[in-house]
Structure 1
Amino acid sequence: MRPLSTLSTILRSAGFALVLLIVLLAINLYLNPARFAPAAWGTLIGLAAPLIGAALASAPVILGGRGGIDISVGPLMGFVNAIVIQTLFLSAGISSPFVLIPAALVVGASIGAINGFMTTVVRIQPIVATLGTYLVLTGVTLTILPAPVGPAPDWLKAMSSSYSVLPLAVIAVAWWLIRRLPYYDQLMAIGSDDRAAYTAGVDVTRVRFVAHVITGVFASIAGLMLTALIGSADPNIGQTYTLIAIAAVALGGISLAGGRGGLVGAAIGAIDIFLLQSVLTSFNVSTYVLQIAYGAILVAAVVLTAIQERAVKGSAL
């Protein structure tokens, strides 16, 4: 796809999120310029990285349509956090990134494959299937890790500061490659109209199954970002990213019905939420108000997306 066409698509689907990004960034620069100075960008990206990663991980299954909302992304991040720190690093004494990173990716791909099997082969509604995975992963994580422990390996903690952009770059490159495969067009086609795609010869089951695997792999990378940020293992922190990530996806212009939007929009939506958190924290706002803000953002984003979709359909008639 040509750069101008890609830019036009981003502006059309994530225009509101981009405007909000500019406004929130300006407010943050005014309230706390030192925090957003270039010297602090590494740490700042490290703080935002788990949320951005969770939003990017949530996007592929949503793009595939049929209500493909995976609410197990947050618990999967927490599960990866527990496996890497408690099981592999502290218990087994394994600290090499050449073991821990592949192990995390295998865990993510496996959980994604299980979700994909339940939703595409067994044909359980995605939100129900992933709710089951959510509960199982939460219980297993608490069994492995009843209380927070640490620390994390030094190389992993460095990914929250000096090398904070590296995991996000890995996801970006992976998605860039996926977009150049026939699979991407098939994913967007089944998200828009799976019956028409099936009639055209697209293997709908395979495409949605792979989308769940991609979501699992991206969630495992987000779990490593989370581990880098907190520098330890915490059994309760992963779940907090689930609904915020979905709100970020909706805010970024990805249609929750599937087939429209992209990971750039999801990343912009996540950055918006991070900047909103920063603004509200500057005013010492309570966590309850933050929850209200997340809910309001989600509702506003869904409504704006619905209005935009109707306008597009109306202009096409």
Structure 2
Amino acid sequence: MTGATLLRRLGGIGFAAVLLVILLAVNLWLAPGRFRPEGWGLLLGLAAPLIGAAVASTPAILSGRGGIDVSVGPQMGFVNAVLIQVLVLRCGVSSPWLLVPAALALGALMGAANGVLATVLRIQPIVGTLGTYLVLSGVTLVVLPAPVGPAPAWLKALAGTWSFLPLGLVFLSWALLRRTPWYEHLMAVGSDDRAAYTAGVPITAVRFLAYGLTGLYAGAAGLMLTALIGSADPNIGPAYTLIAISAVALGGVSLGGGRGGLIGAAIGALDIFLLQNALTFFNVSTFVLQIAYGAILVAAVVLTALQTRAGARSHA
């Protein structure tokens, strides 16, 4: 195997997969009882909000033009607050047939708003979504000044026995989208929007739908977050933003767009979750966790850059 081939593999999903195996082995050695088959549902429920946040961040990033949506975490927190404080406690709504569509609709609307900023108004995506981040963080605190609860029993069950259901539906929807022309257009736009425009691809529509999909998946991640904490907390959502972006980069998704997918983002999120578990076992401080997240992000970006250079040299 040549050095260029090795870099290409390590720079993409291969590096995240190898790291997953290593971290899983470390966790099994540290706490084997926690990873028994009967506890897999609970473990997935614990990891689900982070996986959901990483998956939600991916479509906008794949669309290119610096499409990093930093408002995914606050979107999750806003959905969490509205579901519990407004719909459950104030309006007495507890049916999944109403709460689930409400969460997805809220997410889609917020994603569409970001899409307008990025594609219609042509504001730099990270700047536009930073504005959305600040607005949503403030509105969430207005709606919910302090943590309240509880969540309906069926929703809390999504963090246990039924934890696979919301993530499974998200990946099913993505699998269906991959069979449509929109997916090919998305990857083309993310790789080179000028070439895509020359080929007749509707760049604005493709990129707008990517932001809408990011919002829709953020709404689903908000449901996963609500299921995990079993209540509403105005401060917990924004914490997922930067960790999710780290997971996406670690999973081999190019932050420049046009390369990667949801599977890689999910594996990257699992890597970070297992790293959290291993470090928590040693009672390390949150400062050490932050250092670890930063190191992971830098390493992932460096590997992606090396992969790109190696690929360019191999085609030269």
Scaled by the length of structure 2, the TM-score of the pair is 0.97
Q: Which whole-Å CA distance do the structure 2 matches of 1:63 and 1:95 have between them?
A: 35
Letter paired with 2:59: P
1:103 partnered with 2:102: yes
**Alignment size in residue pairs:** 309
Say what the alpha-carbon RMSD is for the aligned residues.
1.1
What per-residue deviation string (whole Å, max 9, x for no partner) do you get for residues 226-259 of structure 1? 0000000000000000000000000000010000
3-state SS of 1:35 partner: helix
2:61 touches 2:67 (CA, 8 Å); kept in 1?
yes
Q: Which whole-Å CA distance do the structure 1 matches of 2:300 and 2:140 have between them?
A: 32
What per-residue deviation string (whole Å, max 9, x for no partner) do you get for residues 214-235 of structure 1? 0000000000000000000000
Change (3 A) 1:11 1:174: farther
How far did 1:12 drift?
7.2
Unaligned stretches of 5+ in structure 1? 1-8
How far did 1:156 drift?
0.1
In structure 1, the partner of 2:233 is 234
2:57 touches 2:245 (CA, 8 Å); kept in 1?
yes
What per-residue deviation string (whole Å, max 9, x for no partner) do you get for residues 198-218 of structure 1? 000001000000000000000
In structure 2, the partner of 1:23 is 22
**What percentage of residue pairs aligned between the two structures are identical?**
69
1:287 partnered with 2:286: yes
Change (3 A) 1:120 1:40: same
In structure 2, the partner of 1:269 is 268
In structure 2, the partner of 1:128 is 127
How far did 1:189 drift?
0.3
In structure 2, the partner of 1:139 is 138
Q: Which whole-Å CA distance do the structure 1 matches of 2:108 and 2:256 have between them?
A: 24
Letter paired with 2:303: L
Q: Which whole-Å CA distance do the structure 1 matches of 2:10 and 2:100 have between them?
A: 35
3-state SS of 1:244 partner: helix
Q: Which whole-Å CA distance do the structure 2 matches of 1:11 and 1:39 have between them?
A: 33
In structure 2, the partner of 1:74 is 73
In structure 2, the partner of 1:307 is 306
Q: Which whole-Å CA distance do the structure 2 matches of 1:216 and 1:229 have between them?
A: 20
In structure 2, the partner of 1:251 is 250
Unaligned stretches of 5+ in structure 2? 1-7
Letter paired with 1:144: V
Instruction: Write out the 4+ residue segments of structure 1 that deviate beyond 2 Å after TM superposition.
Output: 9-13
Q: Which whole-Å CA distance do the structure 1 matches of 2:310 and 2:11 have between them?
A: 12
Scaled by the length of structure 1, the TM-score of the pair is 0.96
What per-residue deviation string (whole Å, max 9, x for no partner) do you get for residues 270-303 of structure 1? 0000000000000111000000000000000000
In structure 2, the partner of 1:6 is none
How far did 1:312 drift?
1.0
Q: Bigger shift: 304-313 or 64-73? A: 304-313
